[in-house]
Chain A
């Protein structure tokens, strides 16, 4: 490796030396970082700044010059509630319904997904027959587009779908799964877990395989039961990986949109409307297009995601340091 890198570094040194010694540049590294910084600025920082500008302006005009400054009105309209636990008491009840749905979705989806992923990883970590095949099977849904995932499950669960055809064939009473608020929400959580579980299983499997075998052998010699070995060895040593999975899944869960939108359209009513759908519909699908409230809501969401990302970075650093 060093044999390849050394000549490469010498090649890079040529323009660096030229810039430093001939042109007198004190820190030429900036010159090399500039293209990336420009791209980052145009495609990441500028949209954030524009988002902020839209959030503090009103009207349905798309050009900032045509939008009057309204200060924090869009934020206060979103946050105005008698009780945050009751969306009906809020000025923008649809926003709070979406917030409630997203929170419940994240708690259920992340909790269940991490549990199932851990169980699956533990099974796939054992010396079972066709282990490679099962690993591929569990990972396969991750490769599918969210819309494909949604359509597959919609075909299964709709009124005249495969599940009802089977139920009808058995002589039982069919049920309209996607018209019931609780069932529609439950199935949305299920399909999201089905679609993403393979990815987290893979991470946990890598974490399990990093645990040294000799620790288990020592525990076995001390006559530790499998359950005790799991609680005292596997879980503590897997905890750093688990925490990363937990934070990554939470971030992904908060951002849920495509699969649930294509699956239920946010319905019945607002039963499966998530925060991203609220932003999309307020800003783009409604009439007039309320860019201000949509931008304000997306900034509030961004603040939550920043906190989660900081937690993830902190956990990662602790993992590396630890």
Chain B
């Protein structure tokens, strides 16, 4: 009997060990990722090494459209069915769901390496947690089709040229070369914010409360609407869609239908891959106004979510990506501007990038110093997504003539009041 019991205990112990070992082997993390180029495949390559160094751990990458990150992920998180990690762009807006990595990582390394971008993921000034690895620092600004300028024999405006200078020059180029559109800007509240700030928009009042609309903002919107009406801006991009949906004009630029394209640094890889030798394209940054020559900083970051069953492992995986050599590899392969101060200081060798792409990335890097403090504050504001969406919706209504610019701005103020009240 005793022997029988001993066998039973031994069998139970072995079974328990096997089951628990099976539990370790089944540690799978899901990473929801969207890509402008090679972000997800590069993450896959680095995570492959992480998996090799951590036997029994697998990271499953769900590559989804950017729209799913914007629209589906927040609902999944609210319902408690989100992934373990994701690449997000609504940095402050999702802060309530983030996993604080502080207990699991070398906090000093993160503070030293990522400095100010850590704030963009925090819920407010009192929050000191570490939540996101800013994998993709971006700056908004413009690309031009240099070949069209050369063909037209028109000089490219200088670094301190105003928006009016650019509008005039691009109209002349488009007319001389029979190009469809002089200018276009992505349909995004984030994109229009840089020019508005350059026009003197403060976006926040003296007490730091979001106001969105002021004289500077209205001034740029008026000009933007006028340019749509006189054919300077391509109407298809903003007027061709409804709601607050995102629309870019990269394809028009790649097709050579556009002289001047206001977008951002994340398009470099796409331009490099798709334009090739078809024409010369150059980064010219942001035009100037009375508020400076500012673009908007931004980008995407990799975060973990507090709902994960493996918080330590999630932190370990993100920390692995944050290590200098891995981060440098990720930046080089995805052709992005580094947010890691050590990587930025050492310089990035963009292996395989063409001369045009390398020049473009350097030009974007030089734009970082021109970014207004207002733009940094706007990017770090947790309800900025609401302000972006309101801007897109109401400015579009002014462009298509449903509302005057004054009416649109009044509506934008009311929308913001409702949104902030609900968000609180």
Say whether A and B bind each other: yes
Show the binding face of A for B, using Cβ within 8 Å: 58-63, 88, 93-94, 97, 159, 176, 178-179, 181, 264-273, 277, 281, 284-290, 292
- Candidates B71, B236, B242, B407; contact of A270 at CB < 8 Å: B242
Q: Are A265 and B243 in contact, with the CB atoms below 8 A?
A: yes
Q: Are B240 and A268 in contact, with the CB atoms below 8 A?
A: yes
Which residues of chain A have C-beta atoms less than 8 A from B403's C-beta?
Answer: 88
Q: Known: A179-B240, A266-B243, A281-B243. Contact between A287 and B386, CB under 8 A?
A: yes
Q: Known: A265-B245, A269-B402. Contact between A288 and B240, CB under 8 A?
A: no
Minimal beta-carbon separation of B403 from chain A (angstroms): 7
Minimal beta-carbon separation of A75 from chain B (angstroms): 15
Please report the C-alpha to C-alpha distance between residue A286 and residue B399 in the assembled complex, in whole angstroms: 20
Please report the C-alpha to C-alpha distance between residue A97 and residue B424 in the assembled complex, in whole angstroms: 28
Which residues of chain A have C-beta atoms less than 8 A from B90's C-beta?
Answer: 287
Q: Are A176 and B396 in contact, with the CB atoms below 8 A?
A: no
In this complex, which of B93, B383, B386, B400 has the most chain A Cβ atoms within 10 angstroms of its Cβ? B400
The answer to whether the Cβ of B239 comes within 8 Å of any Cβ in the partner chain is: yes
Q: Known: A88-B407, A285-B71. Contact between A267 and B423, CB under 8 A?
A: no
Q: Are B383 and A288 in contact, with the CB atoms below 8 A?
A: yes
Binary flags per residue of B386-424, CB closer than 8 Å to A gives 1, else 0: 101100010011011111000100010000001100111
The answer to whether the Cβ of B345 comes within 8 Å of any Cβ in the partner chain is: no
Q: Are A286 and B244 in contact, with the CB atoms below 8 A?
A: yes
Chain B interface, DSSP helix/strand/loop, else mixed: helix
Which residues of chain B have C-beta atoms less than 8 A from A288's C-beta?
Answer: 383, 386, 419, 422-423
Q: Are B74 and A277 in contact, with the CB atoms below 8 A?
A: no
Q: Which residue of B lies closest to A292 (CB)?
A: B422
Minimal beta-carbon separation of B271 from chain A (angstroms): 20
Minimal beta-carbon separation of A21 from chain B (angstroms): 48
Please report the C-alpha to C-alpha distance between residue A266 and residue B225 in the assembled complex, in whole angstroms: 19
Q: Are B242 and A267 in contact, with the CB atoms below 8 A?
A: yes
CB pairs A–B below 8 angstroms (6 shown)? A59-B424, A93-B411, A271-B242, A287-B383, A288-B383, A290-B418
| Shortest Cβ-Cβ A-B pairs, 5 listed | A266-B242, A267-B242, A269-B400, A62-B78, A287-B385
Which residues of chain A have C-beta atoms less than 8 A from B243's C-beta?
Answer: 265-267, 273, 277, 281, 285
Please report the C-alpha to C-alpha distance between residue A58 and residue B242 in the assembled complex, in whole angstroms: 26
In this complex, which of A94, A181, A269, A286 has the most chain B Cβ atoms within 10 angstroms of its Cβ? A269
Which residues of chain A have C-beta atoms less than 8 A from B71's C-beta?
Answer: 284-285
Which residues of chain A have C-beta atoms less than 8 A from B388's C-beta?
Answer: 287
Q: Are A270 and B402 in contact, with the CB atoms below 8 A?
A: yes
The answer to whether the Cβ of B79 comes within 8 Å of any Cβ in the partner chain is: yes
Which residues of chain B have C-beta atoms less than 8 A from A159's C-beta?
Answer: 236
